[in-house]
Copies of this chain bind each other. A is one copy, B any other.
């Protein structure tokens, strides 16, 4: 028989492997799924699309994943983990708040817009609603931990007087300005990601 491998099940409780840790073909599937989910959306992407993108037949991905749904979960988890890791590196440095803020913006935007992470990030932002309640709760928890980092920094920026409002709502405005770039940013355009981060920092701070 050939159902999904044992190690792949119960992703909601197990630590669940990051892409770099897991077998190559499984990682290929997650990457292809991520790209297709971003381009066409989860529901409009078929198993045959994903299988074709990695040179498999339509039944074969189910050796690695129990359901299409599990693929989405893997993609979304990869998305939140990558962003968190990238931004946390900058948040831990003890440079002055404003410099740290800019560095965090850079890291976040690179994940959103750069070739490496944008597929996972887009799925995280736009396709999470197709997850079920339990899974959604899991990634919501991760998201909360992530956004707490930003909240902490806003508090610091308020102390130094570089921002007027450090409320939850203000943080969500900031997240919106950042995450919305996915809708309009074009890498072939004139402005680079780092310049964008700088401009956003200037837009928000005073």
Interface residues of A (CB under 8 A from B): 41-44, 126, 129-130, 164-165, 167, 169-170, 172-181, 183-184, 191, 196, 199-200, 202-204, 206
CA distance A170 to B178 in the complex (A): 11
Do A200 and B173 touch (CB < 8 A)?
yes
Please, which residues of chain B bring their CB within 8 A of the CB of A165?
199, 202-203
Inside 8 A of A183's CB, which chain B residues have their CB? 176
Which residue of B has the minimal Cβ distance to A163? B203
Besides A44-B130, A176-B180, A206-B206, 17 new A-B residue pairs in contact (Cβ under 8 A), listed by A number: A41-B42, A164-B202, A164-B206, A165-B202, A167-B199, A169-B191, A169-B196, A169-B199, A172-B184, A173-B199, A173-B203, A174-B177, A176-B177, A176-B178, A176-B183, A180-B180, A203-B204
This chain: copies in complex: 2
Contacts of A175 in B (CB 8 A): 180
Instruction: Give the complex CA separation of A42 and B172 in angstroms.
Output: 26
Of all chain B residues, the one with the shortest Cβ separation from A126 is B126
In the assembled complex, how far is the CB of residue A128 from the closest CB belonging to chain B, in whole angstroms? 10
Contact A181 B177 (CB under 8 A): no
- Report B-chain residues with C-beta under 8 Å of the C-beta of A203: 164-165, 170, 173, 204
A157 vs chain B, min Cβ distance (A): 13
User: Cα distance A130–B39 when bound, in Å?
Assistant: 10
Whole-angstrom distance from the CB of A177 to the nearest CB of chain B? Answer: 4
Contacts of A200 in B (CB 8 A): 173
Q: In the complex the two chains form, is B172's CB within 8 Å of A180's CB?
A: yes
**Which residues on B sit within 8 Å (CB–CB) of A191?**
169
Q: Which residue from B41, B170, B179, B204 sits with its C-beta under 8 Å from A180?
A: B179
Return the chain B residue nearest A164 by Cβ.
Answer: B202
- Chain B residues with Cβ under 8 A from A41's Cβ? 41-43, 129-130
